[in-house]
Amino acid sequence: MPTAADHAQTPVAAKLSTLDRFLPVWILAAMVAGLLLGRMVPGLSGALSAVEIDGVSLPIAIGLLVMMYPVLAKVRYDRLDTVTHDRPLLISSLVLNWIVGPALMFALAWIFLPDLPEYRTGLIIVGLARCIAMVIIWNDLACGDREAAAVLVALNSVFQVIAFAALGWFYLEVLPGWLGLPTADLDVSAWQIAKSVLVFLGIPLLAGYLSRRIGEKRWGRAAYERSFLPRVGPWALYGLLFTIVLLFALQGEQITSRPLDVARIAVPLLIYFALQWGVGYLVGKALKMSYERTTTLAFTAAGNNFELAIAVAIATFGVTSGQALAGVVGPLIEVPVLVGLVYVSLALRKNYPHQLTEEERS
């Protein structure tokens, strides 16, 4: 994947490798392939679900780990302290992720799905699950600040363990009760959330950190970044495409057998992802953040932890429930929308007034 310096000096069309440049095509092909596999191969869904890690199919879990490792191996961990002292970034991220995001999804779910309580509940669960995985890919493709992304994802992970169950109780039981609306229950423990964080963030984060420390000690930073990272970098997108194929194969029958329901779920999701990204971008610009950190703020605000949302929905309501279907439709909409926003970010960068200098990048 291209470096920040490369992006500053070349046209948008030339910024990406062949793999990156045609990413929307590969993703669309992966989604179609997954849907077709789910419909045409009997027993595939059961086979993929036979072995699970924290409620997520083992092959999908492997794909997520492969997807995240290369990007986390690129993070310069000795620069994290510059992010942890950036209070406007941290506070903005917490507000967008844990106040604005859940409230926005709650409002959209009730506006667009007032007569479909299962789908509505599923969407609210998606809004509560803040992203700790794919956002790292989108941020890297858009040349955001990798170190800032690592810190914000870690921060979201901590808050996810602490706040997910409490916010689920508030948005599914307390707030609807205050408003005179029907309520729903969400049975999820802090340990269940912690396991998801430990598996899907802890493992690739530890592997990336050890790769950086050992690689730099053995070869030096320049050789590590010039020789090792280009070899492992493409595996992030291979892992992404592999995950998408399996995810849609697992739920392909549900998605293709209920197209009208999928369409109704898709509308509030489209609005949600666009608004969250747009608000994050405007906040970063208003606070005069660099392009890199504005991009990171926008993508971490827009992304959601679909694997956690699906696992919680399945564990609480069942694999064939409407809540689980809403969780599955989440990445169906999120993936192409955020890929599109990657290209929007790169186009906006050309005229962005605040960008990191070469000295700050190094």
Residue boundaries of the structural domains of the chain: 4-351
Task: Reply yes or no on whether the pLDDT at 3 is more than 50.
Answer: no
- Beta bridge pairs of residue 57: 52
CATH, domain range 4-351: 1.20.1530.20
* HEC-encoded secondary structure of the chain: CCCHHHHHHCCHHHCCCHHHHCHHHHHHHHHHHHHHHHHHCCCHHHHHHCCEECCEEHHHHHHHHHHHHHHHHHCCHHHHHHHHCCHHHHHHHHHHHHHHHHHHHHHHHHHHCCCCHHHHHHHHHHHHCECCCHHHHHHHHCCCCHHHHHHHHHHHHHHHHHHHHHHHHHHHHHHHHHCCCCCCCCCCCHHHHHHHHHHHHHHHHHHHHHHHHHHHHHHCHHHHHHHHHHHHCHHHHHHHHHHHHHHHHHHHHHHHHCHHHHHHHHHHHHHHHHHHHHHHHHHHHHCCCCHHHHHHHHHHHHCECHHHHHHHHHHHHCCCCHHHHHHHHHHHHHHHHHHHHHHHHHHHHCCCCCCCCHHHHC
130, pLDDT greater than 50: yes
Q: What is the pLDDT of residue 103?
A: 97
Angle among Cα 136, 80, 92 to the nearest 5 degrees reads 65
CA atoms of 24 and 204, how far apart (whole Å): 25
The confidence band for 10, taking pLDDT boundaries of 50, 70 and 90, is very low
Mean pLDDT of 37-43: 79
Which has the closest alpha carbon to 141: 278, 24, 281, 283?
24
Query: What is the predicted pLDDT for the residue at 20?
Result: 65
Please give the structure tokens belonging to residue 160.
Answer: 């996810």
pLDDT at residue number 8? 43
Highest mean pLDDT among 2-11, 40-49, 353-362 belongs to 40-49
| 115-128: pLDDT as tens digits | 999 999 999 999 99
Segment 200-227 shows an average pLDDT of 91
Most confident of 84-93, 179-188, 248-257: 84-93
pLDDT at position 1 is 47
Among 89-93, 180-184, 315-319, name the one with the lowest average pLDDT.
Answer: 315-319
Question: How many residues does this entry show for the chain?
Answer: 362
In this model, does residue 163 exceed pLDDT 70?
yes
Cβ-based neighbours of 302, under 8 Å, separated by 6 or more: 131, 135, 273, 276, 277, 280, 338, 341
pTM: 0.81
Q: Determine the Cα–Cα distance for residues 126 and 131; give it in Å rounded to an integer.
A: 10
d(CA 71, CA 232): 9
Q: Mind listing the pLDDT tens digit for each residue in 174-204? A: 999 999 999 988 777 777 778 777 887 788 8
- When pLDDT is cut at 50, 70 and 90, the band that residue 4 belongs to is very low
Of 116-130, 307-321, 333-347, give the lowest mean pLDDT range: 307-321
Torsion region of 145: left, alpha or beta (phi above 0 gives left; psi -120 to 50 gives alpha): beta
* Mean pLDDT (whole number) for 232-250: 84
In terms of C-beta density within 10 A (0-12 exposed, 13-18 middle, 19 or more buried), how is residue 151 classed? buried
By the 10 Å C-beta count (0-12 exposed, 13-18 middle, 19+ buried), 167 is classed as buried
Report how far residue 138's alpha carbon sits from residue 142's, in angstroms, rounded to the nearest whole number.
Answer: 6
255 vs 92, higher pLDDT:
92
Quickly state the pLDDT bin for 17 (edges 50, 70, 90).
low
Confidence of residue 55 (pLDDT cuts 50, 70, 90): low
